[in-house]
Chain A
Amino acid sequence: MNIHVEVREIGGLTLDAAEALSFVDAPGNGAGSLFIGVVRDLNQGRKVRGVSYDVFAPLAEQGFAEICAEAQEKWGDNLRLFVAHAKGRLDVGGISIVLAAGSPHRGEAFAACRYLIEEIKTRSPIWKQEHYVDGDSEWVKGHALCSHG
């Protein structure tokens, strides 16, 4: 299996870049590309203390697998791809998402990694609630999903 997709509950293992790079490594791969999403301390002028991630996990994991399959169709079925997204509350500096792509050459690895994050941000059933230093909390405005069928 050359794809790993996962929604990981915070409180269990934290997301780990080394784990992602290890998964996409292979003897035939000369390139590994990594993307890490991290909770930052400021958003639209408001000081952020942390973010809660709400996830519809079964549909999210299925969607991750579909996006990975699309990437393999575009850049080769020998791509090895790792996708893990956190579920639960993270403080500033916490890792919300880890993506990695391994391929024989760097172009495909960079392109696939970029494709994964851009598609996940607009297609995956995941919601962010920001918690601010002043004690307030707010759901982040997002992208409306498309339906097919």
Chain B
Amino acid sequence: MQVNVQMFGEFRVLGDCLELTLPENSTVLDLREFIQNQVGEFELTELLKLSKFADEKAVLTDTSLCKNNQILAILPPVSGG
């Protein structure tokens, strides 16, 4: 299945959005591990551990199931205001 992951903050070094192909029934944890394998050269491994994934309504837990064609966002530690 396909998921699109929007990049924010420091993850923008990877581009604005990643289009990923994941196995059916993948969870957010699976997505995290998939991205983990792609970000090593950018020194984002530690940041990824501190980051969350979200859809437009909520921050997701690692056990949340990904859906086909879902648009997600990766949220590194925040610094607004």
Contact = CB atoms under 8 A, between A and B. Distances in A.
B57 A142 contact: no
B59 A146 contact: yes
Contacts of B81: 37, 85, 96-97, 117, 120-121, 124, 126
Interface string B41-62: 0000000001110111111110
Contacts of A149: 58, 60-61, 64
Contacts of B10: 127, 139
**What is the size category of the interface that chain B forms with chain A?**
20 to 34
Contacts of B77: 141-145
Interface in A16-55: 37, 53-55
Contact of A56 (B6, B50, B51, B64): B6
Nearest to B62: A147
Interface string A105-149: 000000000000100111111111100000000011111111111
Contacts of B12: 54
A59 B54 contact: yes
B49 to A, nearest CB: 9
A56 B60 CA distance: 14
A12 interface: no
Nearest to B9: A127
B60 A122 contact: no
8 contacts: A56-B54, A58-B57, A59-B58, A124-B78, A125-B73, A126-B78, A145-B75, A147-B54
Given A56-B54, A149-B60, 10 more contacts: A54-B8, A59-B54, A59-B59, A96-B81, A121-B81, A125-B80, A139-B76, A142-B77, A144-B52, A148-B58
Interface of B: 6, 8-10, 12, 50-52, 54-61, 64, 73, 75-81
